[in-house]
Amino acid sequence: MLSISHYLVLSLALFTIGVIGVVTRRNVIIILMSIELILNAVNINLVAFSRLMGSVNGQVFAIFVITDAAAEAAVGLGIIIAFFRNRETVLEDEMDLLKW
Amino acid sequence: MLDSIFFYFFAGLAVVSAILMVTRRNAVHSAIFLVTALLATAGIFLQLHAEFLFIVQVILYVGGIMVLFVFVIMLVNLDVAVRQMRFNRMWVVGLLLTLALGAQVYMVYRYVRMGDAPSLFNMAPAPAAQLEPNTQLIGQALFSDPYVLPFELASILLLVSMIGAVVMAKRKV
Amino acid sequence: MLQNLIDFFRPHVWPLLFALVIVAVVPLLAGYIVLLERKVMADMQARLGPMRVGPHGLLQPIADAVKLLLKEDIIPESADKWIFWLAPLLSVTTAMLAMAVIPFGPFFQIADLNIGILFLLGVGSLGVYGIVLGGWASNSHYSLMGALRSSAQLVSYETAAGMAVVSALMFGGALSTRALVEAQSQSHMWFIFLAPVGFFLYLVASIAETNRAPFDLPEAESELVAGYMTEYSGFRWALYFLAEYANMIVVSSIATVLFLGGWLRPFPNTRALDFLDYVPMLLMLLVGVYSLYRAPKQPVAVQKMFMVGVAGLCFLLAIVLALPVFAPAGSLLASMKPGLHGAFWFLAKVATYLYVFLWLRFTFPRYRFDQLMALGWHFLIPVSIANVLGVGIALYLHRSADDGGKGWPLAAALVLTTAITLLLAGWLAKKSDLRERVPAGERF
């Protein structure tokens, strides 16, 4: 039988993998994608609790998380494009100077 | 029983896709694996009887945000990336610390309880037959009392981020 | 144990059967729509079209399919093999998946999801991946440019299409496709009469969504070779082509379900107009008589026999459609009437919508890409937002006073708001006169 623990463990697993992606990879775009994975893990958690409690608040909060993830992805990718135009790189350890 | 099969299928797909996503060398392959991970998450939402959230995840996340990611990856695609190191210099430390964090959170789930309340860990949700139509409930919540103000603020947030992204991606401001 | 298994599968037998029928029929149908397009194109250009392969060219799609299957499968050397293999699959899968929620008749639907319309929109947005990944995997400039342009176009017109759909949903009050058709039965008229601006917005947006002319810059031969399909040959190309025509069928079906009344006859549920129930049978009789009339005028004996065969088929269909109407009420034959007539009306409406697609292809010149994007963002999206607002205000004005509305008659409220929306559309069209538009700097 499925209990809330299954969903919590799944959410934790995805969260951990997302954090590993953020901390470990060099390519900034893959770091952004790992952040999206973290947000999804949080969404699974919210929806699982919403189902457990029988209230719709968790799902509404998950909708807001998705909306904010969209906004943040758009702005983050804009920053990456602007940076790439100036420095020709997308690797995080080469983005280490504030000016020339 | 069917519930469990669907859950394990989608959960396995999500975890395997996530692991593949953070280890690929080619960014487009990573993006495709993130798409499968997001679709598996949508499957989990559907299995939790949250059908509106399932379809919102597919339309917005997979059909909107990930298309944006794939566009940008194609724009900044460098052939040099194929021959470079994938992980940064401190990957071992990062990996160990993150796994320790994960283990700590698991301990919290498993063993912490508040007073005499039973442990959270084994509660099961109510059976599905008693749920009301999901879309209607969310619509009522979003457009009336609790959540109409955050809803309007979210649309202003999207407007601001749209303007910001357009300004940042222009060649001459 | 065996009884448990049978009980487990029993509710899924009919949907599985319908799914098999759709998967078997739709590729064949898509092939014949290609033939139909060539014939209609020929008709509009005062010539005959394919006539060689089979009588009147009717075996042409089969010949094409066999040729494509036997062609050599070329994969460019520096292409990304897995994604090259995956991309046409994604296109075809999403096109077929959308057929699952479309009600082809009152009983012929694979799955009646209660988020049916949103499912169709979601599957449409998944279709973008087939194009984008196909263009990227080919590792060639033309493909990548074509793919980026095509997906930018698709994403831009998805918003306008979605909001046009919302304006019909406001009358329907449900997201399930079957419930929408039944709402049209309840309100005694198709939603195209209640939301005409929404219908025309959806018409334009759906032509852009399926990459058809006049919005077919990304795949036109004189522009970017063949856009994202350049490096695909043989059966992979056939899959992309199949996906495009299956998408056309899906988009026509969505418009039929939302705006044209699904499987209902014109003015459903009104007793005074029940004579319209004789129309299917009369139409088939007419086509049969016309075929018989043309039979002696054919130059070759095979074609004469073929025309007589077509006439016979039409008469047979007319009899099949007439039986439920003339059978005594309550018998088995009479109970088949919604199914049979429903299928006829649905197919007739989808065929009409597809004919409009084909007609527009051979009438209008192509839009340049920046004109296309300007049309989507500067004209269609503002008008669709105004349309949603207008329909909302009309419904508020129509609600009775004790529900919080004003109690106007529906026709008055709708005429007022449609007039305001059309005025806005006219002003926007004049303001952004696309004929003067000059491409600036580098846009995709």
Touch between chain A and chain C (3+ CB pairs, < 8 Å)? no
CA distance B169 to chain C (A): 12
Q: Which of B32, B58, B133 sits opposite C114 (nearest CB)?
A: B133
Give the DSSP per-residue string, chain B. Answer: -HHHHHHHHHHHHHHHHHHHHHH-SSHHHHHHHHHHHHHHHHHHHHHTT-HHHHHHIIIIIIIIIHHHHHHHHHHT--GGGGGS-SB-TTHHHHHHHHHHHHHHHHHHHHH---TTPPPGGG--PPPGGGPPPHHHHHHHHHHSTTTHHHHHHHHHHHHHHHHHHHHHH-S--
Of C83 and C55, the one with more pLDDT: C83
Residue-wise pLDDT for A53-83, tens only, equals: 888 889 999 999 999 999 999 999 999 988 8
Highest mean pLDDT among A41-45, C7-11, C168-172: A41-45
Tally of CB atoms within 10 A around C71: 14
Question: Does B55 sit within 8 Å of C122, measured CB to CB?
Answer: yes
Q: Which of B45-49, C239-243, C322-326 shows the lowest mean pLDDT across its residues?
A: C322-326
Give this prediction's pTM: 0.91
Q: Which of A1, A12, A22, A30 to mutate to test binding with chain B, by most B CBs within 10 Å of its CB?
A: A30
Q: Which of A54, A71, A79 sits opposite B157 (nearest CB)?
A: A71
Structure tokens at C109: 């639907």
Query: Is residue B4 within 8 angstroms of chain A, CB to CB?
Result: yes
Chains in touch with B (≥3 Cβ pairs < 8 A): A, C
Domain boundaries of chain B, sorted by first residue: 1-108, 133-173
Nearest to B49 by CA among B156, B159, B131: B131
Residues of B in contact with A80 (CB under 8 A): 72, 76
Whether C417 contacts C390, CB under 8 Å: yes
Residue C442: closest C-alpha in chain B = B171
Residue B2: closest C-alpha in chain C = C8
Q: What is the pLDDT of residue C61?
A: 92
Q: What is the pLDDT of residue C29?
A: 92
Q: Which of A60, A79, A85, A93 to mutate to test binding with chain B, by most B CBs within 10 Å of its CB?
A: A60
Residue-wise pLDDT for C273-285, tens only, equals: 778 888 888 888 9
Q: Which of B123-137, C176-190, C279-293, C373-387 shows the lowest mean pLDDT across its residues?
A: B123-137
3 state SS for C200-233:
HHHHHHHHHHCCCCCCCHHHCHHHHCCHHHCCCC
Cβ partners under 8 Å of residue C121, min gap 6: B59, C158, C161, C162, C165
Q: Could you say which residues from 102 to 131 on chain B have a Cβ atom under 8 Å away from some Cβ of chain A?
A: 102, 105-106, 109, 120-126, 131
Residue B62: closest C-alpha in chain C = C126
Q: Which of B122, B134, B165 sits opposite A75 (nearest CB)?
A: B165
Query: Is residue B65 within 8 angstroms of chain C, CB to CB?
Result: no
Q: What is the pLDDT of residue B74?
A: 86
> For B24, how many CA atoms within 13 A lie in the half-sphere containing its CB?
19
Q: What is the pLDDT of residue C332?
A: 76
Question: Does C128 sit within 8 Å of B71, measured CB to CB?
Answer: no
How would you label C267-288 residue by residue, b for 16+ Cβ within 10 Å and e otherwise? Answer: ebeeeeeeeeeebbbebbbebb
Cα–Cα distances in Å, from C165 out to C120, C129, C192? 11, 22, 11
3 state SS for C236-282:
HHHHHHHHHHHHHHHHHHHHHHHCCCCCCCCCCCCHHHHHHHHHHHH
Question: Does B59 sit within 8 Å of C121, measured CB to CB?
Answer: yes
Q: Could you say which residues from 65 to 104 on chain B have a Cβ atom under 8 Å away from some Cβ of chain A?
A: 65, 68-69, 72-73, 75-76, 78, 81, 84-89, 91, 94-95, 97-99, 101-102
| CATH pick for B1-108 out of 3.60.21.10, 1.20.120.1200, 1.10.460.10, 3.40.50.1370 | 1.20.120.1200
Give the DSSP per-residue string, chain A. Answer: ---HHHHHHHHHHHHHHHHHHHHHB-BHHHHHHHHHHHHHHHHHHHHHHHHHHT-SHHHHHHHHHHHHHHHHHHHHHHHHHHHHHHHS--BGGG---S--
Residue A91 phi/psi, 5-degree rounding, is -100, 140
Region C147-151: mean pLDDT is 87
Residues of C in contact with B52 (CB under 8 A): 115, 118
Query: Is residue A95 within 8 angstroms of chain B, CB to CB?
Result: no
Residue C218 pLDDT > 70 = yes
Q: What is the pLDDT of residue C252?
A: 95
CA distance A97 to chain B (A): 18
Give the dihedral sign, CA C133/C139/C141/C143: negative
Q: Set out the domains of chain A in order of their start, with CATH numbers.
A: 4-92 (1.10.287.3510)
Q: Which of B54, B59, B133 sits opposite C125 (nearest CB)?
A: B59
Q: What is the pLDDT of residue C412?
A: 87
Q: Could you say which residues from 92 to 121 on chain B have a Cβ atom under 8 Å away from some Cβ of chain C?
A: none
Write the burial class of residue C338 (CB in 10 Å: 0-12 exposed, 13-18 middle, 19+ buried): middle
Q: Which of B32, B74, B133 sits opposite C148 (nearest CB)?
A: B74
Provide the ipTM: 0.93
Chains in touch with A (≥3 Cβ pairs < 8 A): B
Query: Is residue B55 within 8 angstroms of chain C, CB to CB?
Result: yes
Q: What is the pLDDT of residue B30?
A: 93
Q: What is the pLDDT of residue B116?
A: 65
Peptide bond preceding C214 in cis form (omega within 30 of 0): yes
Whether C52 contacts C59, CB under 8 Å: no
Q: Could you say which residues from 164 to 193 on chain C have a Cβ atom under 8 Å away from some Cβ of chain B?
A: 175
CA distance C158 to chain B (A): 10
Query: Is residue B63 within 8 angstroms of chain C, CB to CB?
Result: yes
Question: Does B168 sit within 8 Å of A79, measured CB to CB?
Answer: yes
Q: Given the structure tokens 């009336």, which residue do they identify? A: B144
Cα–Cα distances in Å, from B46 out to A3, A72, C33, C113? 16, 25, 36, 12
Residue-wise pLDDT for B4-13, tens only, equals: 899 999 999 9
Residues of B in contact with A62 (CB under 8 A): 53
Give the CA angle between residues C433, C435, C438 to the nearest 5°. Answer: 100
Categorize the per-residue pLDDT at C170 as very low, low, confident or very high, splitting at 50, 70 and 90: very high
Q: What is the pLDDT of residue A87?
A: 83
Residue B151: closest C-alpha in chain A = A64
Q: What is the pLDDT of residue B115?
A: 66
Residue C335 pLDDT > 90 = no
Residue-wise pLDDT for C237-278, tens only, equals: 899 989 999 999 999 999 999 999 888 888 887 777 778 888
3 state SS for chain C:
CHHHHHHHHHHHHHHHHHHHHHHHHHHHHHHHHHHHHHHHHHHHCCCCCCCCCCHHHCCHHHHHHHHHHHCCCCCCCCCCHHHHHHHHHHHHHHHHHHHHHCCCCCCCCCCCCCCHHHHHHHHHHHHHHHHHHHHHHCCCHHHHHHHHHHHHHHHHHHHHHHHHHHHHHHHHCCCCHHHHHHHHHHCCCCHHHHCHHHHHHHHHHHHHHCCCCCCCHHHCHHHHCCHHHCCCCCHHHHHHHHHHHHHHHHHHHHHHHHCCCCCCCCCCCCHHHHHHHHHHHHHHHHHHHHHHHHHHHCCCHHHHHHHHHHHHHHHHHHHHHHHHHHCCCCCHHHHCHHHHHHHHHHHHHHHHHHHHHHHHHCCCCCCCHHHHHHHHHHHHHHHHHHHHHHHHHHHHHHCCHHHCCCCCCHHHHHHHHHHHHHHHHHHHHHHCCHHHCCCCCCCC
Write the burial class of residue B80 (CB in 10 Å: 0-12 exposed, 13-18 middle, 19+ buried): exposed
Cα–Cα distances in Å, from C367 out to C156, C216, C217, C220? 15, 8, 7, 11
Q: Which of B33, B67, B134, B136 to mutate to test binding with chain C, by most C CBs within 10 Å of its CB?
A: B67
Residue C379 pLDDT > 70 = yes
Share of chain C above pLDDT 90, in %: 42
Question: Does B63 sit within 8 Å of C115, measured CB to CB?
Answer: no
Residues of C in contact with B28 (CB under 8 A): 80, 83, 133, 136
Residue-wise pLDDT for B118-157, tens only, equals: 666 666 666 665 566 788 888 888 888 879 999 999 999 9
Residues of A in contact with B44 (CB under 8 A): 7, 10, 44, 47
Question: Does C114 sit within 8 Å of B55, measured CB to CB?
Answer: no
Region C125-153: mean pLDDT is 87
Tally of CB atoms within 10 A around B12: 12
Question: Does B74 sit within 8 Å of C115, measured CB to CB?
Answer: no
Amino acid type, B32: I
Of C404 and B25, the one with more pLDDT: B25
Average predicted confidence (pLDDT) for chain C: 87
Query: Is residue C363 within 8 angstroms of chain B, CB to CB?
Result: no
Residue-wise pLDDT for B64-99, tens only, equals: 999 999 989 888 876 655 567 778 888 899 999 999
Q: Which of B46-55, B164-173, C89-98 shows the lowest mean pLDDT across its residues?
A: B164-173
Q: What is the pLDDT of residue C224?
A: 56
Residues of B in contact with A40 (CB under 8 A): 37-38, 41, 61
Find the farthest-apart pair of alpha carbons in chain A and give their distance in angstroms, rounded: 60
Beta bridge partners of C262: none
Q: What is the pLDDT of residue C2?
A: 81
Q: What is the pLDDT of residue C434?
A: 56
